[in-house]
Structure 1
Amino acid sequence: MLNIANTIRSTLLRSKTRNVRTLAATVNPAEQQQVQAVLPDKLYSSIEIEYRGHDKAVLKSYTTFLQQVCKHLEIPQGRLEVLPYIRWVQPALRSKFVHKKYKLHYETRTHITKLEILNVTGSTASTFLEYIERNIPEGVGMRVGFTELQPLPLTIQN
Structure 2
Amino acid sequence: MVAFEAADGLKYYDIVEGKGPVAEKGSTVQVHFDCLYRGVTAVSSRESKLLAGNRIIAQPYEFKVGAPPGKERKRDFVDNPNGLFFSAQAAPKPPPAMYTVTEGMKVGGKRTVIVPPEAGYGQKGMSEIPPGATFELNLELLQVMPPGGK
* TM-score in terms of structure 2 length: 0.27
Rg (Cα) greater in structure: 1
More helix by share: 1
